[in-house]
Structure 1
Amino acid sequence: MHKIEAAIRKSETLHDAEIRFAVEGSLDLKELWQDKSSFDRAVEVFAQLGVWDTEQNNGVLIYLLLADRKIEIIADRGVDRKVAAKEWQRICRAMETLFRKNEFEAGVLAGIDAISKLLVELYPAGKDNENELANEPVVL
């Protein structure tokens, strides 16, 4: 978890966007009964963590549901308008490839790196590069 936090912190020195990472072991019984998808849960976590609450609407959440080995990337509207869904899917698939090899840390770090490269192009760091959201991973 410390390496993930450090990777996010380093990434955010290169761009003006914000990255959050959240991992959840499994959905609870009520959510499973309601047939909640990992995407639906990721949208809830996006809201709960306030990833939408950045000045340029450029927050990105990486959500990992361990039980299903599902990864969702949810981007705020400022980023979402500029990045095609297929790009987020490409990053998720690359992470999943590493997860299948039981390289979870490497998978998460590769995802942060890939997202960072996109964000550097879209939101290069300015002189007032304020850290608007916490960098610590969240365990739900």
Structure 2
Amino acid sequence: MVGPARLLRHLFARPARSLFPADSLHRIAAMIRASESRHRGEIVFALESDMPLREVWMNVSPRDRALHAFAHLHVWNTAANNGVLIYLQLADRRIEIVADRGFDGLVSAEQWRGICQLMEERLSAGEPEAAVAEGIEAITQLLEAHFPQRPGEVDEDELPDEPVILR
């Protein structure tokens, strides 16, 4: 059973644009573009302020919502299976990273969780854009190590760089 505190957080969640106004979203898109010029991976940033109350009542986790967003946004649909979703859920104050199967055996769940925790700390400190920037940079380093640019090869931008507001 879901607790009343979680229901209230979702019912009265701050709109995503209050933490990430348009200029902030444009800077994040630029960070993603700059990151993707350094490797062959794809990064998608998605956020939602709250979940539908029906899902909160059913105790759907932020991880489950992130997995749904990963599929819905087609982050899995890259030639090298190297898409990464950064999912920020404001009401539950959670960040989840979902990486495609190309990362299997390369990056551990603990490494992904560590990046989430770094971002959550910056978010808790009231620095939402800096939290996302830190996460993008940490993921960029992993992508550079495992999916580096190849000399003479053109890397197609397979997924949009603009952040996605889900709710």
- Cα offset for 1:53? 0.2
Equivalent of 1:40, from 58, 64, 68? Answer: 64
* Runs of 4+ off more than 4 Å: none
Q: Distance in 2 between matches of 1:81 and 1:22?
A: 25
- Cα offset for 1:81? 2.9
1:26-46 deviation line (CA, Å, top 9, x unaligned):
011111111100000000000
Q: 2:88: which partner in 1? A: 64
- Cα offset for 1:79? 1.5
Q: Distance in 2 between matches of 1:23 and 1:94?
A: 17
Q: Distance in 1 between matches of 2:117 and 2:51?
A: 21
Q: 2:27: which partner in 1? A: 3
1:124 counterpart = 2:162: no
Q: Distance in 1 between matches of 2:160 and 2:123?
A: 25
Where do 1:52-91 residues align within 5 Å? 52-91=76-115
* Cα root mean square deviation, aligned: 0.7
Larger relative contact order (CA 8 Å, sep ≥ 6) = 1
Q: Distance in 2 between matches of 1:137 and 1:6?
A: 10
1:115 counterpart = 2:115: no
Q: Distance in 2 between matches of 1:24 and 1:34?
A: 18
User: Please, which runs of 5 or more residues in structure 1 have no aligned partner?
Assistant: none
Equivalent of 1:95, from 114, 119, 140? Answer: 119
User: Please, which runs of 5 or more residues in structure 2 have no aligned partner?
Assistant: 1-24
Judged with a 3 Å threshold, the aligned counterparts in structure 2 of structure 1 residues 4 and 80 are, in CA distance, closer, same or farther, namely farther
Q: Distance in 1 between matches of 2:66 and 2:105?
A: 19
Q: Distance in 2 between matches of 1:73 and 1:30?
A: 24
Q: 2:73: which partner in 1? A: 49
- Cα offset for 1:7? 0.5
> What secondary structure, in the 3-state scheme, does the structure 2 residue paired with 1:3 have?
helix
Q: Distance in 2 between matches of 1:24 and 1:15?
A: 27
> What secondary structure, in the 3-state scheme, does the structure 2 residue paired with 1:83 have?
coil
Q: Distance in 2 between matches of 1:66 and 1:33?
A: 17
- Cα offset for 1:47? 0.2
Amino acid at match of 1:110: E
1:138 counterpart = 2:164: yes
| Count, aligned residues | 140
Specify the structure having the higher radius of gyration (Cα).
2
